[in-house]
Amino acid sequence: MKVVLNEEMRKIDKTTIEKYGIPGIILMENAGLGVVEEIIKDFKRDSNFTIICGRGNNGGDGFVIARHLYNKGYNVKVFIVGDSRDISKDALINFKIIQNLNINITNILDEKDLLKLKEGILSSTVVIDALFGTGLSSEVKGIASEVIKYMNKYSKYIFSVDVPSGICGDNGQVCSLAVKADKTITFGLKKCGNILYPGAEYCGELILKDIGIPREVVDLMNLKFNIITEEIVKDSIPIRKKDSHKGSYGKANVIAGSFGMTGAAILTCKSALRSGLGLLRLYIAESLNFIIKTNVPEAITVPLGEIRKGVIGINNIREILEGTKDADVLTIGPGCGNTSELSEILKRIIGEVDKPMVIDADGLNVLSKNVEWLSKKKSEIVITPHLGEMSRLTGLSIEEIKRNPIEVAKNFAQKWNVITVLKSARTIIASPKGEVFINVNGNPGMATAGCGDVLTGIITGFIAQGIEPLKAAIISVYIHGLTGDRVAEKKGEYGLVAGDIIEKLPYTIKDVIGR
């Protein structure tokens, strides 16, 4: 499913109008009807509506909504924020229609008009926010900011049209303040601001409506941003053949764990095996071998001599490199410790290993001091940073990344030619070609130690099974989030731990692929 930026949606609308001859006023009519269709599902004929409109096309949608609700017998009041003489072209046509119908219209020009708005909101069952939509490009100021405050304070229920007013349609950020909707109806394609936080929370329930944009227009745009769906995932996981053996499903080498951090290695290994991996070798300090063998008997361990307790060093590199010759993927970082020894090993591996790699956790912390190593890589690399790790990799603050996570992930992926999995409430996968995939499942219960290690293991397992790294990352992020949601349904978000996801993982995969 494609998702768009504001400018992309404007180009889609423009192409629909100019190339395919579908007038903008028809698109506006269909948008208004889409909202009315949702309203009449939820609210009876005795409901009262206050519709708050801007002077652009979002306001025009509001005028269409007002007309159809009025014609269906609902009680309707319309408030226009600003001077109605400045209403845009298509919106003006619909404004004149509601004038001719003698629908109650009030202009909000200054603070005294806010009292009328307050009365209208308090007497209404529903408030419809048709103020800005995707038309907002700056901070909300002046009388509009007061209108939004009144909506949030006095409304019983709010429908927002396209995007809650005050939310940036490109990145979901709040432009000083925004409408907190109960339901948002968006049109044609979902906007990035609908699905990225905090915008997703301000949208409430999100409904997508078709307004008659030809499919060919969307195809012409060569849109790069996508929402991950179950269909994408299901079609990417290969069917297992009856005549197969463990070698058929890949070999993974993992470098993980250190003294006090064996849990990260155990979680990574278990999740890789539970995702369908055929054979896993874990390179571990010899003093930690017993702990691993006790907890993951299915893994082959390669105990290595130690520089100090629980830490392997560059003197082990020959054995590590030799072992990659028959591996399908190499994963490094979970629980390794941010050490100079790991730094030496990682530099050699990036520069010499020609197999797909997954770098996570301490591997990323080491890499953040030496990002230029990526320019010498011999194979495809998947990195899986959380916000803090991405901050260290890019030099940007966490707040800067949160303001525009898609751009940050995309720019890093393209600059360093690596598949970037930026983990957050909405995990974003960016490819070196500029493609972006956004995951919308998962829950706050997954914000717990070890869940990142589980994701790393799943990605490792799917790459080993022959799925190309970008697809493996997409599949893994979706399966990981969906499994977390299923665990939360049974156990709740507070008690969810990483091991719960591993235990539920095989059942999720089985249900998704249908076999």
Look at strands 279-285 and 126-130 and give their pairing: unpaired
| Strand boundaries in 251-348, DSSP class E | 251-255, 279-285, 300-304, 329-332
Q: Where are the alpha helices (DSSP H) in 248-288?
A: 262-274
Which amino acid, 431? S
Task: State the DSSP H helix or E strand holding residue 286, giving kind and residue range, or none if neither.
Answer: none
Tokens 């956004």: give the residue.
Answer: 438
Q: Cβ–Cβ contacts within 10 Å for residue 395, how many? A: 9
**CA triple 197-359-254, angle to 5 deg:** 130
* Residue 232 neighbours by CB under 8 Å, 6+ apart: 226, 474, 478
* Residues contributing to the annotated binding site for AMP: 423-427, 452
CA-based nearest residue to 391, from 422, 346, 352? 422
- Cα–Cα dist 269/220, whole Å: 43
- Cα–Cα dist 510/219, whole Å: 32
Cβ atoms of residues 148 and 181 within 8 Å: no
Q: Where are the alpha helices (DSSP H) in 135-203?
A: 142-154, 192-195, 199-203
- According to the 3-state scheme, what is the secondary structure of 374-433? HHHCCCCEEECCEHHHHHHHHCCCHHHHHHCHHHHHHHHHHHHCCEEEEECCCCEEECCC
CA-based nearest residue to 203, from 256, 148, 161, 152? 161
- Cα–Cα dist 267/295, whole Å: 10
Q: Which two tokens stand for residue 11?
A: 């180009």
* Residues contributing to the annotated binding site for (6S)-NADPHX: 57-61, 133-139, 162, 264, 335, 386, 453
**CA triple 400-402-417, angle to 5 deg:** 80
Cβ atoms of residues 67 and 40 within 8 Å: no
* Residues contributing to the annotated binding site for K(+): 58, 129, 165
* Residues contributing to the annotated binding site: 57-61, 129, 133-139, 162, 165, 264, 335, 386, 423-427, 452-453
Cβ atoms of residues 55 and 88 within 8 Å: yes
139: left (phi over 0), alpha (psi -120 to 50) or beta: beta
CA-based nearest residue to 178, from 132, 216, 220, 223? 132
Q: How far, CA to CA in Å, does 490 sit from each of 368, 484, 495?
A: 38, 10, 10
Tokens 């978000």: give the residue.
Answer: 493
CA-based nearest residue to 425, from 450, 405, 408? 405
SS3 category, 397: coil
Task: State the DSSP H helix or E strand holding residue 398, giving kind and residue range, or none if neither.
Answer: helix 398-403
Which amino acid, 503? E
